[in-house]
Structure 1
Amino acid sequence: MKIISVAAGKGGSCKTTTALGLATVLSERYKVLVIDSDPQGSLSWVADKAGAAFDVAQESDQKILSKLRKVGGYHVLICDTPPGLDSKILATTVELSDYSILPSPTSPLDIRELTRTINQAIAPIGKPYRVLLSRVDSRRINEAMDIQSHLMSKEIPVFNAVVRARVAHERAIVEGKLITQYRGAGAKEASDDFRRVVDELLRDVGSLGDA
């Protein structure tokens, strides 16, 4: 089993959307458990209402989270962490994880906070991670490519795939649907973004092991 954390140092960084998208696509092939440690419980609500094919456990007790390695019966465990660089839950889950995904919008303030998160909470642990540019304006895709190049020049690993800003993500969550269930405008393109991310993720982490 692989443990994958979705982490960010600030709120509004697309963590829940990312964790939902990854779990939805991965659950088409694998047995997936998502740990929702965000007190708001948005991910748990959507997954329950949508009848998700993956399991969800809402848990914010650090002592229980420290025992995630003992969980069995799954190929992959995805942790949706709460925001805050001083969060003990974030530190615990990242340290336990085999791999971390750091979603980030592309505004200068978001990239600044992303860099702080990497320097303070991710890089010191020494575990593999990759940045995922999210909420990317399709009309400004070249700017996103420039940000990718800038981050890579600083030896920060970045997904080649990006998650573009689409109303479909917001409307799917409001309606309590997974992005693959939503049938409104942009739904297929939004799903395809996450499929490309998952393809890269699987190349990075290799075999997900036995359930």
Structure 2
Amino acid sequence: MMNDAQHAEKMQKIKAAKDRVNEERQGEKGLIIVHTGAGKGKSSSAFGMVMRAIAHEMPCAVVQFIKGSRETGERRLLTTHFPHLCQFHTMGEGFTWEVQDRARDIAAAQAGWEKAKSLIRDPAIRFVLLDEINIALRNDYLDPAEVCAFLRDEKPAMTHVVLTGRNAKPELVELADLVTEMALVKHPWRAGIKGQAGIEF
């Protein structure tokens, strides 16, 4: 077991190494961020980032691709308390098994993508969340090559874009600056517990 002096010496070495690394990393850019995987927390994490951006007074926008008109806590909070800093656009009509109309799903996804492009191009907006766009890409409602080309070629240099949803396309993962895969370990749904307010929506 370390004594106090050994602990202090170890922490000083760690701090010196961290300081050197931080000095070497001075670049800034608008990031392309992907949250994917089977585990819970993809949208929740992204909305946490929205709140962080709002705390820095960075104008934001959210485009929801799949989720329909069902009221959610994040939409209520953002539209009620921060409409001056965060636009919120729910473009989907609900989960695909609820709509059961592929043509409508495709039309909704394409309308969402057009809205997303206009928001990303807007120089006043610094952070755009494309919630569940990976589902629209997985189901071939949108062309992954088009989405990747737009993000690569037209996204303003300092605009952050977060894309959520399971099964992110490999080309999107390759393009992204930051990719997190949520792993499912346990979920109450499997134990017969329904989605609950404040946790799931």
TM-score bin, normalised by smaller chain: 0.3 to 0.5
**Relative contact order (alpha carbons < 8 A, sep ≥ 6): 1 or 2 greater?**
2
**What TM-score, normalized to structure 1?**
0.38
**What TM-score, normalized to structure 2?**
0.39
Rg comparison, structure with higher value: 2
